[in-house]
Each structure stands twice: as C-alpha cells, then as structure tokens.
Amino acid sequence: MLFKSPSMTTASCDISIIIINYNSSEYTLKCVEQVLEKTSVTIDFEILVVDNASKREDFETLKSSLDFLNSEKVTIYRSRINTGFGGGNMHGVQFAKGNYYLFLNNDTLLINDPILKCYKFMEDTSDAAVCGVQIFNENDEKQVSFDHFTSFWREVFGKRFVEKLFSKPNRRKEYADPISVDYINGSFMFFRSSDFNSVGGFDTNIFLYFEESDICYRLKKKNRRTYFIPTASYLHYQGKSIGKANMPIDTKIELKTSMFYVIRKNYGYFHYQILRLFFIIRYGLTSLVKPKYFRLFTIILIGLPLGKSLKHKQTLR
C-alpha cells in the first residue's frame, strides 16, 4: 500500500472546517452537530477535529460520539502534545483539502449559516484574505467582533485613542455592510487557503493569544485584507473562555509573553523596548499593592522570553 502524506492529497472541497478540542468534548460535539445542521447543503465541506492532547477519557468520549454521528464529513485527529491554538490548527491544516479554511472555536454555535455568507462574500471579494462575523453571547447580546493591531499606542493609550488618532473603525458601532478591519476574533476565522498558506499559516511560536492579530498583520503587509461581515453571526460561550478579569497569573504572563513577541516581531526592537519599559513601571508599582503581580513584573523585567511560555510545560500523552 502506498503511504500518502498530507501534502500529496489532491482531492479538494469548498471549505475545510478545523475545530480544536481540549478537554471539552461536550462543547466540541455540539459545535460539530450545529455545523452539520446549520450549513447549507450547497457547500462541499469537511470537518477536521483536532484533539490537542486532551485527557484520554475526554478524547475517547468525543471519538465515540463523533463515530455515532456517522458522517463522512467528520474526521478526528489526535495530537500527543498540546501545541496551543496555532499549533493545533496547523496540525489540522496538513490534512485540509478545502479552497477555504474556517478555524472555528469549539465553544461556538452557528446562528444564521455564517459559513455560506462568508463563502459567498469571499468568492465575490478578490482582495479579501480572511473574514469574520458578528459574535453574540448567551444572552443574545452583540459582542466586539474585531480589533486593532496590538501596538505601543493601543496598549498605552487604549483602543478608543487608536480609533481617533488613526481613523480606525469603531469596535462598538453597529454596521450594516462589510468593512475592512485590522483583525477579526480568533473564534471564527474564514481564510482563503491560498492566502493563509502564502504567509505560512499561524506562527506556532505563539502558544496562546494574539495569533489572529499576527497573521492578519502579515497578510496586510502583502496587501491582503481582513473583513468583518456584520450580517452573519454565531454564538460564543463567553463563560467557557477565561475572561481577562479572572485570569490566573500564569495565563496573564502567557498573554503578555505572546503580546511582546508579536510586537517585537512586527514592529521591531525599539518599539518593543519602549513598551516593555512602560510595563516595567506599571507592574512594578502594581505589585507593591497587589503582590500576585510580582511574578508578572519579574518576567517583564527579564524580557518575556518565549522559553518561559506554557508551551514548554506540555507533556506527551
């Protein structure tokens, strides 16, 4: 029998939908069921579920549940190590056959066939590399669905200042038509596969956070655009993802590590050092009244090296 590597796969479909599972099989199963139920039959799509080294029980539960669906559109792959958001999605990409890639969080539910709306939009919009849609929470409330590139200006002066100074779209305004934005939320990213592949996909040096900002920035440098489509929507379980206010300190450290990596990579050493000095002062003072921030302060003080990332604490399963 001839072994066929992913790169030798020649068959194609319209869309490859990649969903990561990490110890949350119940959410993943609901997400897959919704995609199968809510997505137009006019689209030829496949669903690639990547288990990112979940506990064996969670993986086995998910695998048996997906087998029970008995759908030829669904395939599950298991990684022996948790490689994070970017790495997990890149694991799925190597098996993807679609002309488009949809990276879909497992804690989402589709509302009004956003996949078909994105597909039609991308087919009609030649300069679009990636698009995202409107997020709703469990209470049917609209959520911020796009953002501005991370930078010194954004982190020091805030997002409203960036919107005014650089004439960026207002994140909280309601829109009727698609608009060009810096980047869209990572829980639903619909890429033209040729554009995604042309920039090397997600940067797997990043374990968590800022992957979407980084890849959209790299696409922008190639004159490829990111769009927000307000008429398409999905529900995102906000409680499932960790809110910034309740983040453990290890998670805050990971967020800042990714942020500074992306800033140094995309804006240069000087930009990185000026922002680092600001945060040294900020968290140095904060840690005097909130000692739990002292660890974050010391990590910023030594330059937030990627070697301290949670990525290097993962074990093979």
Residues 141-196: pLDDT tens digits?
999 999 999 999 999 999 999 999 999 999 999 999 999 999 999 999 999 999 99
What is the Cα–Cα distance from 63 to 15, expressed in whole angstroms?
22
Per-residue pLDDT band at 1 (split at 50, 70, 90): very low
The overall average pLDDT reported for the chain is 92
User: Residue 15 pairs with which residues in a beta bridge?
Assistant: 45, 100
Cβ atoms of 228 and 179 closer than 8 Å: yes
- The number of distinct structural domains making up the chain is 2
Work out the end-to-end distance of the chain between its first and last CA atoms, rounded to an integer number of angstroms.
29
190 and 213 inside one domain = yes
Residue 21 has pLDDT above 70, yes or no: yes
Domain boundary among 236, 269, 293: 236
Asked whether the whole model's pTM tops 0.85, one would answer: yes
Tokens of 212: 């979407």
If asked whether residues 268 and 147 sit together in one domain, one would say no
User: Do both 46 and 133 map to the same domain?
Assistant: yes
Q: What is the three-class DSSP state of 212?
A: helix
Strands 98-104 and 188-192: antiparallel
The pLDDT of residue 38 is 92
Cβ–Cβ under 8 Å, residues 154 and 183? no
Residues 6+ apart with CB under 8 A from 169: 146, 163, 175, 179, 181, 228
User: pLDDT tens digits for 25-70?
Assistant: 999 999 999 999 999 999 999 999 999 999 999 999 999 999 999 9
pLDDT the model gives residue 10 = 54
Residue 238 has a pLDDT of 65
Which range among 174-188, 210-224, 236-250 shows the weakest confidence by mean pLDDT? 236-250
Q: Give the CATH number, domain containing residue 170.
A: 3.90.550.10
Selection from 171, 230, 203, 193 nearest residue 96 by Cα:
193
102: domain range?
Answer: 6-236
Q: Is 162 exposed, middle or buried, given 0-12, 13-18 or 19+ CB atoms closer than 10 A? A: buried
Segment 221-234 mean pLDDT: 97
Kindly state whether residues 197 and 223 are assigned to the same domain: yes
**H-helix or E-strand spanning residue 242:** none
- Write a three-state SS string for 20-54: EECCCHHHHHHHHHHHHHHCCCCCCEEEEEEEECC
Q: Is the pLDDT of residue 132 over 70?
A: yes
Find the helix or strand (DSSP H, E) in which 15 lies: strand 13-21
Task: Report whether 312 contacts 296 (CB < 8 A).
Answer: no
pLDDT tens-place string over residues 263-302: 999 999 999 999 999 999 999 999 999 999 999 999 999 9
Which one of 236, 263, 284 terminates a domain? 236
